[in-house]
Amino acid sequence: MKIWDKGFSTDKKIDHFTVGNDRALDLILVKYDVIASIAHAKMLGRVGLLNNEETNQLTIGLKNILKDVENGDFTIEDTFEDMHSKIEYLLIQQLGDTGKKIHMARSRNDQVLVAMHLYLKDELTAIKNQTKELFNLFISLADKHKDVLLPGYTHLQIAMPSSFGLWFSAYAESLIDDLYFINAAYKIADQNPLGSAAGYGSSFPIDRTFTTKELHFHDLKYNVVAAQMSRGKVEKSTAFGVSAIASTLSKFAMDVCLYMNQNFDFISFPDELTTGSSIMPHKKNPDVFELIRGKCNKLQAVPNELILITNNLPSGYHRDLQLVKETIVPAIQEIKACLEIAAFTLKDIRINKNILEDPKYDYLFSVDTLNELVLSGIPFRDAYKAMGQDIANNTFNPKKDIKHTHEGSLGNLCLDKIQEKFDSAFHS
């Protein structure tokens, strides 16, 4: 069934090519299409385009379909082009001519738009909640291990003392920046496009303010052409949020893979969280974090993929826009999986508390030892040269009783301030 059917059939090859994997993706979006259809039916009744009986019948019929969706009993067979045609078919089966009235004053264009906006709102909220879980874990680990020192590196060379407190809380605070992107995407998604029809509005006297309130959107996308132009843009905005989190997770995963290496031996995980080798019995591989790294690197390409699909399209609807669904939906599922497995694995991380006892890390303290000379009254450049001579002559004696007090340093992590900042971002 095609809701645009005019009594003739298109070639099967054309059908296969144009439908693509829409049916599979629509099974994810169908819940939102039904919810939007219920609001649409109520609105049609409110403005007098349906009588009370028709409104009630359509609302009850759609709620029954929604129950099937939530129970996993809704399917889209090959005989249907998409979720819209299957839903309309079921309504006609149940209600006869009344079922044929559900599509009045709308188009598949604004149906997909509103379903996608509702879907993205839910998914962005879920991503925020998962990000909060990982943030809380980072903060907890930072506080627990704040006094355990760790080598800091620049250019992958030993640089200055760091700590597990600094390391964990750095990733916690980085997630706050990622939330800013997620919040921006949510604000874009939180605008109702329903009623824009094919992108140029409708001659029916519809009430778009009603559906905006009924669907719990913060605002209405007023201009119908602007509403249609949000197709692709809202997905792209979400992709930037996803890629921001992916960037943080990828960098953290790389750190984990490096720090688990026996030449570093900073951290480890229980055997059940690592994998082995088919021929090397000693191996404990960080497969989980290698896959997080790889998956998140792929996710960082998603905004560019969406840009390339949409960047030279004029205003109005184009079938190219169908392709953004098959990019953004899997990306959302992937980032959620990465957040989940990262939190699941990280809670059992084991910390090596004696890393800096190895004398190869003595040069980590050169800057602190240099600063001590400066504080004693020696000009910085003279102290720097003297320290360089000591290092060259192998007479360097590190000062290890370091004291860092400024905000965000080893001795003053400001975890409470980072928590406050996260809470503000999370609730904005």
Tokens of 59: 């609302």
> Looking at residue 270, what is its pLDDT?
86
Residue that has been written with the tokens 């509005």 in this structure: 201
pLDDT, the chain, mean: 92
| Cβ atoms of residues 269 and 348 within 8 Å | yes
Q: In this predicted model, what pLDDT tens digit does every residue of 63-105 receive, in sequence order?
A: 999 999 999 999 999 888 889 999 999 999 999 999 999 999 9
Which pTM was predicted?
0.91
Q: What's the pLDDT at 272?
A: 82
* CB of 275 closer than 8 Å to CB of 297: no
pLDDT of residue 273: 78
Q: Residue range 284-306: average pLDDT?
A: 94
Q: Is the pLDDT of residue 216 over 70?
A: yes
pLDDT at 4 over 70: no
pLDDT in tens, 406-418: 999 999 999 999 9
Asked if 120 and 234 touch (Cβ cutoff 8 Å), the reply is yes
Q: Environment class of residue 396 by beta-carbon count within 10 Å: exposed (0-12), middle (13-18) or buried (19+)?
A: middle
Helices (H) and strands (E) in the chain, counts: 15, 6
Q: What percentage of the chain has pLDDT greater than the value 70?
A: 94
Residue ranges and CATH numbers for the domains of the chain are 12-104 (1.10.275.10), 115-145+168-193+225-353 (1.20.200.10), 359-427 (no CATH)
Q: How many whole angstroms from its chain centre is CA 13?
A: 35
Range of weakest confidence among 16-25, 62-71, 199-208, 366-375: 16-25
Which of the four pLDDT bands, split at 50, 70 and 90, describes residue 6?
A: very low
Over residues 238-255, mean pLDDT:
98
